[in-house]
Amino acid sequence: MNQILEVAVPGGPYALAAGPDRATWVTLVRSGQIARVTDSGELTVYDVAPDSLPSIITTGADGALWFTRAGDDRIGRITTGGVLSEIELASGAAPFGITAGPGGTLWFTAMNAGTIGRIDLDGTVTEVAAPGGGPSMIAAGPDGALWFTMNQKNAIGRLEPSGALRVREVPTPRSGPVGIAATHDDAVWFTEFLAEKLGR
């Protein structure tokens, strides 16, 4: 890459995911929309709901894009053809992070509900309480487990697909862990926003 292409995307572009159609999919958190952007910068926008606050987006094993709707407590799904559907969660759940997991499952965090949710291939949702509450971002780790940050608890959680859950406190007090990702070195890295550090 030897140049930067900028594409005007009104509506508060927030999170990105690479789609199976070779396009980039974007949540528009302020306008309640999802955008599709091609490599050439061609933009297509799909309406979700005005107050839905589309937040984090990921590609599922079914070839669709899945995203959290923190404003109206739903998990959204959009096909590469632009067909939208949704899964309704408990009122006030505030889903935020979402990631593809083992066996075609999807996993999400519900910040206000204090839970980690699993969506099976048939759309069934099951949730596990995160001790201390407030889970934010989530990622599938190299060990097959789901790893997530707990911003308010200053901790990192690990959840096995079997349901076994473990929480570790971050050594730096009040570090504000948020982002988390599995990396090429078979480790999980996370950001400590308030401490201006990275953790591994």
d(CA 10, CA 12): 6
Q: Percent of the chain beyond pLDDT 90?
A: 84
User: Closest Cα to residue 188, out of 157, 165, 161?
Assistant: 157
Q: What percent of the chain has pLDDT over 70?
A: 100
Closest CA to 188 of 143, 151, 153: 143
Q: Is the pLDDT of residue 108 over 90?
A: yes
C-alpha 31/C-alpha 200 separation (Å) is 35
Averaged pLDDT for residues 143-148:
94
Residue 2 has what pLDDT?
73
Query: pLDDT value at position 127?
Result: 94
Domain boundaries, the chain: 9-88, 91-200
CA-based radius of gyration for the chain: 17
**What type of residue sits at position 125?**
V
The pLDDT, as a whole number, for residue 3 is: 81
142's CB contacts (< 8 A; 6+ apart) are: 182, 186, 187, 188
Q: What is the pLDDT of residue 98?
A: 98
Cβ 110 vs Cβ 119: under 8 Å: no
Of 22-26, 47-51, 130-134, the one with minimum mean pLDDT is: 130-134
Residue 126: pLDDT band by 50, 70, 90 thresholds? very high
Dihedral in degrees, nearest 10, Cα atoms 79, 80, 84, 90: 60
Query: Exposed e or buried b for every residue in 9-35, given b needs 16+ CB within 10 A?
Result: bebebbbebebeeebebbbbbebbbbb
pTM: 0.93
**What is the chain's mean pLDDT, rounded?**
94
pLDDT digits (tens, 9 = 90+) for 1-10: 578 888 899 9
Span 9-88: which CATH code?
2.40.10.500
- Is the Cβ–Cβ distance between 116 and 134 less than 8 Å? no
Find out whether 190 and 149 touch, Cβ atoms under 8 Å. Answer: yes
Confidence grade of residue 55 (pLDDT, cut at 50, 70, 90): very high
In the CATH hierarchy, which fold is given to the domain comprising 91-200? Methylamine Dehydrogenase; Chain H (2.130.10)
The reported pLDDT for the residue numbered 17 is 98
For position 1, what pLDDT does the model report? 55
